[in-house]
Structure 1
Amino acid sequence: MTRKIALITGASRGLGRNTAEHLAERGVDVIGTYLSKAEEAQSVARHLQAAGVRAEMLKLDVSDSSSFADFAQRLGQTLQQQFGREHFDFLVNNAGIGLNVPFAETTEAQFDQLMNIQLKGPFFLTQQMLPLLADGGRIVNISSGLARFALPGYAAYAAMKGAMEVLTRYQAKELGARGIRVNILAPGAIETDFGGGVVRDNRQVNDYIASNTALGRVGLPDDIGAAIALLLEDGNGWITGQRLEVSGGMFL
């Protein structure tokens, strides 16, 4: 039986790396992308290979849509040369940055940077990936609990994630003829280095979030990586166009 192949953007650290690890545990081969830390990315690839799967890392700037055609060509070559395949099966649009700035103080440059990375990037990268994505494949986009509840300082970031939730429904509708399922997963607050590590390192912030979460704690990377891997499993083939919040019940 041919193993599945997942393409995960931003796979060298954080939730992208954790997702890659959970998929590797399930026997899924991984092609990850990274932006600048090549050695860190290759270390992740070696770690995944040690788990018994094939893994490659490719450089990609998701904020630069003009580079996507070249990336698609490099990806196609990698699939053929390293995996003996013409197509991959899963796309996880994970790469992103955070921004915590009040609405009244958000600059146009900050807004544009977020848009390029969080909305324009996955929109046009996914478009470029369509010829390489297998029929019957799956796409998982990433949103945020902040698209449902409002916390001061996240207006621009949450607006991009809200747009991704709408886009997910349209992708599911338009790609359904190829049997491609498209869903979006919305993490709650997670203990990572995202946003400067404020949720992980600031005890006051951590305690506040935990006290407003049904399960009584802040999320961990394993909570998200495992959920993405679960969403990609064969038994969930009748789920498409849906938003799944994985937040432990924040602000219910």
Structure 2
Amino acid sequence: MPNLTDKTALVTGASRGIGQAIAERLARAGALVAVHYGTSAEAAERVVAGIRAEGGRAFAVRAELGPSEGVDTLFAGLEAQLEEHTGSSRLDILVNNAGLMGTAQPEEITGEWFDRMMAVNAKAPLFVIQRALSLIPDHGRIINISSGLTRFAAPEQVTYAMTKGALEQITLHFARHLGKRRITVNTVAPGSTDNGSALFRIPEVREAMSQLSAFGEVADPSAIADVVAFLASSDARWITGAFVDSSGGTLLG
């Protein structure tokens, strides 16, 4: 198990699904985890309570990412609570997981929808990283959660895939930019993963999504969280700028 004792981490969009699993996994490895949420304080507090019940350390921080003031709100809360818990605002691990997902046929995409998706999935992570750089020490970790949808065609997901493609470019260029500080920046790309959506409770939908994977099943979020925990650890110190296919073989064709 990766050892993240004495490390601090921020996981955006951590009140459910993959983000929740990542927060729980990093906490089990010893990190103090900031569980970011946008709207559901109750869900975030449940995640925090669950982590603490297992002996881990966590706190919730709220901010609506997308609006221009969202990053300021996030870091005001984050820095205050890091200071309270550790006496320092140091942030060792940043996981950009928060995102919007939705479908629209190409003929039905609106400018408003495109702008909203881009603001949350690409613009917000860019400025979260920019703001975090003064808090992240040398040898820190930045992990961006993308999607296997950037590697195959799904016309109804074109807007979502475009935003995640932009996120992958952030990984690439920041990995080069931060290399001298030994801060690694990597992309993790899940495939069909049970994020708690009601869709996964519909047997025929779950079966169809299962067949996308080489393993013939939908991923549990913990499988993605394990990959993130590895990249957050010292064992991954020589990996940066990577696209880590965590789709369960979906991209094999």
**TM-score category by the smaller chain?**
over 0.9
What are the residue-to-residue correspondences of 1:42-121 with 2, within 5 Å? 42-121=45-124
Pick the aligned partner of 1:29 from 15, 23, 32. 32
Deviation at 1:251, TM superposition (A): 4.3
Are 1:211 and 2:214 counterparts? no
Residues in 1 aligned to 2:121 and 2:147: alpha-carbon distance in whole angstroms: 11
Q: Residue type of the partner of 1:8? A: V
Q: Compared with structure 1, are the counterparts of its residues 72 and 212 closer, same or farther at alpha carbon in structure 2 (3 Å cutoff)?
A: closer
- Conserved? CA contact 1:139–1:182, under 8 Å: yes
Hey, what does 1:246 align to over in structure 2?
A: 246
SS in 2 for 1:99: coil
Q: Residue type of the partner of 1:94? A: N
Residues in 1 aligned to 2:18 and 2:31: alpha-carbon distance in whole angstroms: 17
Deviation at 1:69, TM superposition (A): 2.6
Deviation at 1:2, TM superposition (A): 5.8
Q: Residue type of the partner of 1:44? A: V
- Conserved? CA contact 2:64–2:70, under 8 Å: yes
Deviation at 1:72, TM superposition (A): 2.0
- Conserved? CA contact 1:212–1:250, under 8 Å: yes
Structure 1 alignment gaps of length 5 or more: none
Note the alpha carbon deviations across 1:160-200, whole angstroms, 9 max, x for none.
1111111110010111122110000000011123xx543x1
- Conserved? CA contact 2:5–2:29, under 8 Å: no
Of the structure 1 ranges 17-26 and 153-162, higher mean CA displacement relative to structure 2 is found in 17-26
Hey, what does 1:138 align to over in structure 2?
A: 141
SS in 2 for 1:184: strand
Are 1:7 and 2:15 counterparts? no
Deviation at 1:234, TM superposition (A): 1.2
SS in 2 for 1:33: strand
Residues in 2 aligned to 1:163 and 1:178: alpha-carbon distance in whole angstroms: 23
* Structure-1-length-normalised TM-score: 0.93
- Conserved? CA contact 2:5–2:31, under 8 Å: no
- Conserved? CA contact 1:65–1:120, under 8 Å: no
Q: Residue type of the partner of 2:244? A: L
Residues in 1 aligned to 2:79 and 2:42: alpha-carbon distance in whole angstroms: 23
Residues in 2 aligned to 1:150 and 1:110: alpha-carbon distance in whole angstroms: 20
Percent identity between the two aligned chains? 38
Q: Residue type of the partner of 2:161? A: A
Pick the aligned partner of 2:158 from 146, 155, 158. 155
Deviation at 1:117, TM superposition (A): 0.5
* Structure-2-length-normalised TM-score: 0.93
Of the structure 1 ranges 37-46 and 94-103, higher mean CA displacement relative to structure 2 is found in 37-46
